Structure 1
Amino acid sequence: MVTGELKSKIDSLWEIFWTGGLTNPLDVIEQMTYLMFIRDLDDADNLHAKEAAMLGLPYQSVFAKEVQIGERTIDGSQLKWSVFHDFPAAKMYSTMQEWVFPFIKNLHGNKESAYSKYMSDAIFKIPTPLMLDKIVTAMDAIYEQMSQLKEADTRGDVYEYLLSKLATAGVNGQFRTPRHIIKMMVDMMEPKADDIICDPACGTSGFLVAASEYLKDNCKQEVFFNRQNKEHYMNHMFHGYDMDRTMLRIGAMNMMTHGVENPFIEYRDSLSDQNPDKEKYSLILANPPFKGSLDYDIVSADLLKVCKTKKTELLFLALFLRMLKVGGRCACIVPDGVLFGSSKAHKAIREEIVENNRLEAVISMPSGVFKPYAGVSTAILIFTKTGHGGTEKVWFYDMKADGKSLDDKRTPVAENDIPDIVARFHHLEGEEERQRTEQSFFVTKQEIADNDYDLSINKYKQVEYVPVEYPPTSEIIADLRQLEKEIGAAMDELEKMLNEQ
């Protein structure tokens, strides 16, 4: 959590962008991302050079003595943040615009570098030398403050704080699933060291980051002290796709600031034939787009075979089933309409999950969870791909509170069902005897099938009606008469006081 002086410095940096004319929060974070890439490249190069010197190994700096940029050959050292940040504002600006950005964009011809991969179509948008000078000075102060803090993941926290500003920026908030909801889903799924994890609509990579943090916190020995597992974690475990290049860049940076060196994050329309993935992933975590409507001709044909629809929320469920390995698990957020929609496509995808795979849980969330930028009611579906059924009973939970008020302000409150949801999900044997009047309970597959595969909790939850006893009518009327007398007496007293004046 970013607090105190560091938070103040980040807010000041944001203010520099804002007052300088960059008011779109996505543009601000994108430009900060570029500058963090450039600064980190210098730091990483210095670190590798020191390590090589200590081990007596040769090391070729990326800032070699001479660097070819276009038709010009320049001294590579001028491209280092630690060198150009001392230049006068005008020279720093021209160096950044004419040399540093082209250098970063073409850092590796084969595009293997994670840095160059996400910088390949970067555009330098900072409008004036003075503004760049202020930004570079402010970023140096932030890095200095971060180096003084000994917490393990200050960099990640800083980036999360920047991303949180998207949630307060109106329409751009659609890119962010609330962090505590993401964490709850990851805690329920308990990622393993050998998982291959995917989010086919990754945005800022919130789910992938949370999964990486879970492994760091709970499987440190297994992941980081095993060469094969660590290599898998750094290079092959995390996969994310999106159709917004800005979000891809921000998502990739988010992963890197949380310690994943080479996440596989790329531009892809997951629902089209651009996405060939079949039976590839062991865990999918996602909050796919709602309310989208696509033309049939751009949707992959094998998804339409499962449910012929233009609705993105249904097509993504079909996609998850296709992308998962047999035995692979999925936790995804869906709008409530998916649970009870009566169209042929709605029923088809629910039947596919219940009859041909294993649906494990449906967690119904209150409509305020995605406020202030959306008031839609949602649920979390958890299922395992089997290809041959396996659903015997489904666990339902009626979430009523998530630790924040359910209005637009979303201020912290004491009521929070999330710890209870995670605890009950991991001890489902204790749920067997629960009644339908309680907050969670099981429903058999047969009952779900008999109800057209309706998965809305209200279909199965029983409401306890507690009789309320009222006093006799004569007693109520007597009370009203007495109140009327008291009001009359008070009015007389008031009128008397006014007449005496």
Structure 2
Amino acid sequence: MTRTIDIVQKLWNLCNDLRDDGVTYHQYVTELTYLLFLKMAKETGQEGQLPEGRRWDDLKARSAPERLDHYRQTLLDLGKHTEPLVRMIYTDASSFVRKPATLSKLVTDIDALDWYSAKEEGLGDLYEGLLAKNANEKKSGAGQYFTPRPLIDAIVAVMQPSSDDVIQDPAAGTGGFLIAADHYVREHEDVYGWPEAKQREYFESTFHGMELVPDTHRLALMNLMLHGLANDPERSGIRLGDTLSNDYTKLGKASLILSNPPFGTKKGGGTPTRDDLTFVTSNKQFAFLQHIYRALKVHGRAAVILPDNVLFESGIGKQIRADLMDKCSLHTILRLPTGIFYAQGVKTNVLFLTRTPGEKGGTKEVWVYDLRANMPQFGKRTPFTRDYFADFEAAFGDDPTGGPDALAQRVDTGEAGRFRKFTREQIKERGDSLDISWLKDDSADQGELPEPAQLAQETLTELSGAMEELRAILLELGEDETALEEAGVLS
């Protein structure tokens, strides 16, 4: 992996060449994706999907002055190409590069990289390294589309995806969960020993996702391709669309859902436009949570990352939690450390649930693992690694569905430990709040005050929760929704 890391750093350093052209970090990764698709199609022997005259060597062969015009025309032509994957990556593509010399330097430097070593270590890993760089660069704003890989790997390990699953991420971002699930299956099953028909079925119809933002969708398509997963608009892959609209019907039912939905309210304000949700709310996390437990097949399982306000908000929030605990066994909540996401002040959790056959009484007990109290301040000096999840994974057990027998084997560590059990009756006594903590967080009493941006983010999160509660109360009192929108309560 050392050579891959070196190549990622070299690719990232090329961004400096674009700074003078006014190109942002996120634009740079999109631009790099256009170029890398051409280069990697050559390196992987897949140039047959590109029309003649629009391939890497055609771009490289042009003289520096005419290369930029040729490149711009290439983007236009590929955006209309008949091959679906190529067309989806290049639809509405336009170059952010303004100077011919800048493009020529990019092409020359990309061509000079050690692609033999990159192929040996995995082109998918190289591209994911680039996405991670972009997510960790605060100025890029891309962290919202990127879940830390140690967290993804820990979640996937306890959920144990298999080739029998239909796996879905309704807020796919750059595809990290789906790719990690595929990696787990390949590690635990002899995928390449299967008959060809079974291999094709697995790669072409197991993984399903949806992403709202076009540029992020491009990155996801590239990521899937480099990891050997198909993106078939009719069957599978990551589709461009809004899960909170009737686009959700393209996803279908799943036996395993893994997701980190976006935080905040629906873009542009207002409520989801899909017409099937029982509880209407502008809070995206609550809307996605409803989608997730409704989209699960009976006995299907899910792991979803959600902020603290989902655990304690009253009004519609309380109703959604009660509905969730009726229809599913919400068997485990993992309280995550702070400071591991792009929005430092957002405190998050992973909810692990299994769809039960009935409509009532699905949750008998909820186990809460506190990985937040007395944890390090994560950052460059203390990187967030998979090792921090080792005790949680052991405590979770071997049953990804959290069945009764598995839960009976768990050990409640008491008030001094990190893992505790709460019965459904105890949770009802708490007003159906799942924001449960018991450890004194000594780390919170030490060290420096949080950054101003973190304090502001925490305040915004709390205000958002308060507005949602106010909205629910007013609607329950019979206020007109249009009038609330005009008053700014639903904006």
Confirm or deny a common fold (TM above 0.5).
yes
Tell me how far apart the structure 1 counterparts of residues 29 and 374 of structure 2 sit (CA, whole Å): 28
Q: CA deviation at 1:249?
A: 0.3
From 346, 350, 353, the counterpart of 1:376: 346
Name the SS for the 2:261 alignment partner: coil
Decide whether the 8 Å contact of 1:340 with 1:455 is kept in 2.
Answer: yes
From 110, 117, 125, the counterpart of 2:88: 117
Tell me how far apart the structure 1 counterparts of residues 435 and 247 of structure 2 sit (CA, whole Å): 33
Name the aligned partner's letter for residue 272 of structure 1.
Answer: S
2:418 alignment counterpart: 439
Q: CA deviation at 1:256?
A: 1.2
Q: CA deviation at 1:290?
A: 1.7
From 245, 268, 279, the counterpart of 2:241: 268
Q: CA deviation at 1:234?
A: 2.2
Identity of aligned residues (%): 30
Name the aligned partner's letter for residue 184 of structure 1.
Answer: A
Measured against aligned partners, the alpha-carbon deviations of 1:50-97 in whole angstroms (never above 9, x if no partner) come to xxxxxxxxxxx5567xxxxxxxxxxx3x33322441331123333222
Tell me how far apart the structure 2 counterparts of residues 79 and 223 of structure 1 sit (CA, whole Å): 33
Measured against aligned partners, the alpha-carbon deviations of 1:373-398 in whole angstroms (never above 9, x if no partner) come to 33111111010112414322222101
1:334 alignment counterpart: 306
Aligned pairs (5 A) from 1:64-213: 76=52, 78-98=53-73, 100-108=74-82, 112-142=83-113, 145-148=114-117, 151-153=120-122, 155-167=123-135, 168-170=137-139, 171-213=141-183
Closer, same or farther: CA 208–62 of 1 in aligned 2, 3 Å: closer
Name the SS for the 1:412 alignment partner: coil
Q: CA deviation at 1:150?
A: 6.5
From 394, 397, 401, the counterpart of 2:366: 394
Q: Which has the higher contact order (CA 8 A, sep 6+)?
A: 2
Measured against aligned partners, the alpha-carbon deviations of 1:428-466 in whole angstroms (never above 9, x if no partner) come to 5542453343211222222222322221222xx47799x
Closer, same or farther: CA 164–149 of 1 in aligned 2, 3 Å: closer
Q: CA deviation at 1:229?
A: 3.6
Measured against aligned partners, the alpha-carbon deviations of 1:8-63 in whole angstroms (never above 9, x if no partner) come to 422332222334x243111111111111222233445x568xxxxxxxxxxxx556
Q: CA deviation at 1:367?
A: 2.2
Decide whether the 8 Å contact of 1:199 with 1:284 is kept in 2.
Answer: yes
Tell me how far apart the structure 2 counterparts of residues 267 and 34 of structure 1 sit (CA, whole Å): 18
Tell me how far apart the structure 2 counterparts of residues 285 and 398 of structure 1 sit (CA, whole Å): 20
Tell me how far apart the structure 2 counterparts of residues 454 and 29 of structure 1 sit (CA, whole Å): 41
Aligned pairs (5 A) from 1:408-487: 409=380, 411-412=382-383, 416-427=387-398, 428=406, 429-432=408-411, 434-458=413-437, 461=438
Name the aligned partner's letter for residue 258 of structure 1.
Answer: H
Decide whether the 8 Å contact of 2:168 with 2:251 is kept in 1.
Answer: no
Decide whether the 8 Å contact of 2:76 with 2:90 is kept in 1.
Answer: no
Closer, same or farther: CA 82–34 of 1 in aligned 2, 3 Å: same
Tell me how far apart the structure 1 counterparts of residues 92 and 270 of structure 2 sit (CA, whole Å): 30
Which segments of 5 or more consecutive residues in structure 1 lack a partner in the other structure? 49-60, 65-75, 466-501
Tell me how far apart the structure 2 counterparts of residues 97 and 462 of structure 1 sit (CA, whole Å): 58
Closer, same or farther: CA 210–94 of 1 in aligned 2, 3 Å: same
Decide whether the 8 Å contact of 1:401 with 1:415 is kept in 2.
Answer: no
Decide whether the 8 Å contact of 1:287 with 1:332 is kept in 2.
Answer: yes
Closer, same or farther: CA 418–102 of 1 in aligned 2, 3 Å: same
Tell me how far apart the structure 1 counterparts of residues 43 and 369 of structure 2 sit (CA, whole Å): 48
Measured against aligned partners, the alpha-carbon deviations of 1:130-188 in whole angstroms (never above 9, x if no partner) come to 1111111111122xx131356442x1222122112322133332222212111111112
Matched, 1:302 2:284: no
* Larger-gyration structure (1/2): 1
Tell me how far apart the structure 2 counterparts of residues 148 and 409 of structure 1 sit (CA, whole Å): 27
Closer, same or farther: CA 414–163 of 1 in aligned 2, 3 Å: closer
1:349 alignment counterpart: 320
Decide whether the 8 Å contact of 2:301 with 2:353 is kept in 1.
Answer: yes
Q: CA deviation at 1:363?
A: 0.6
2:470 alignment counterpart: none
Point out the more displaced range, 225-234 or 187-196. 225-234
1:291 alignment counterpart: 264
Q: CA deviation at 1:281?
A: 1.2
Closer, same or farther: CA 415–269 of 1 in aligned 2, 3 Å: closer
Give me the TM-score of the superposition, normalised by structure 2: 0.78
Decide whether the 8 Å contact of 2:300 with 2:354 is kept in 1.
Answer: yes
Name the SS for the 2:352 alignment partner: strand
Name the SS for the 1:274 alignment partner: helix
Measured against aligned partners, the alpha-carbon deviations of 1:212-244 in whole angstroms (never above 9, x if no partner) come to 22222222x046634344213322122221221
1:318 alignment counterpart: 290
Name the aligned partner's letter for residue 41 of structure 2.
Answer: L
Name the SS for the 1:290 alignment partner: coil
Q: CA deviation at 1:399?
A: 0.4
Which segments of 5 or more consecutive residues in structure 2 lack a partner in the other structure? 399-405, 443-491
Tell me how far apart the structure 2 counterparts of residues 126 and 24 of structure 1 sit (CA, whole Å): 11
Count of residue pairs brought into register by the alignment: 424
Point out the more displaced range, 34-43 or 319-328. 34-43
